[in-house]
Structure formats: C-alpha cells, structure tokens
Amino acid sequence: MKLLNFLNESLPKRLYHGTVGELVFKPGVLYLTPKKSAASVFGTDPFLTMGRVGKAHTYEIKAKYGQAKDINDIVENALMDDKDVDKVIEQEAAKARKGGYQYMKFSHGGEFDVIVSLYPDQDLEIVE
C-alpha cells in the first residue's frame, strides 16, 4: 500500500481517531487514520482498548497543515526485531519534533495509513 504523501500538500480532509471515552487533546502523540472503519476498531476491540471501559467513540478530526516524517521502515524494522513499537515511535517523535515536523506517518500492516500527530493539543480539533 502506498503511504499518503502530505509533505507538500494538506492532510486528508478527514482523519479519524477511535477510543473508549472522551477524547481530550494533550501534549504527546495521537494516532489518526483517514480510514474511519480502522479507527473505530480501536474503540471496540477488547485487545486494542487495552482494558479501558466506557462508550466507544470514533472522532472525526480536523488537522492543521504540517510536514510529515515517514517512519514506515523504522516501524517495520522494530516489528521484525521484536522491539517495543510504542517506545520506538515515542523516540522517533522526539527526533521529528526537533526536525520541525508536525506529523509522522507509517502503514499499519499494509492495511491502512497511520498519521501520528506530534502536537495534538495545538494542531487538532474535533469536527462537530
């Protein structure tokens, strides 16, 4: 699957985030995807919700324009080397912020694209 290219163009008009409970933007990273059905699973699948309970939500998100660093190869290598992928993504997020990026992107097992917001509290808003 070809990753979306938004280094020189605006992000897709619609991005989604699935979770249990209310979404509050705070510093850190937030995972998004342009595929609504993929996002919704993260609010309903017992494994992916990581034990959290509450009402499942799929949020439509509006994102400010910004450059995205492609970390697909890094994520794939981390998976192949049986590394903690969340930790690897956090490390790459620190590097990307220093490099002036707003987002990172990778493919989730070739099934859908993932866009990681590096500044969710500043760059994202929920579409009502």
Q: How many CB atoms sit inside 10 A of residue 69's CB?
A: 21
User: What confidence score (pLDDT) does residue 67 get?
Assistant: 87
Locus of tokens 């993504």: 89
Share of the chain above pLDDT 70, in %: 80
d(CA 40, CA 54): 14
Band (9; pLDDT cuts 50, 70, 90):
low
For residues 6 and 120, the model is more confident at 120
Tens digits of per-residue pLDDT, 101-116? 999 999 988 788 999 9
Whether 45 shows a pLDDT value over 70: the answer reads no
User: What confidence score (pLDDT) does residue 48 get?
Assistant: 55
Is 0.75 topped by the overall pTM?
Answer: yes
User: What confidence score (pLDDT) does residue 46 get?
Assistant: 57
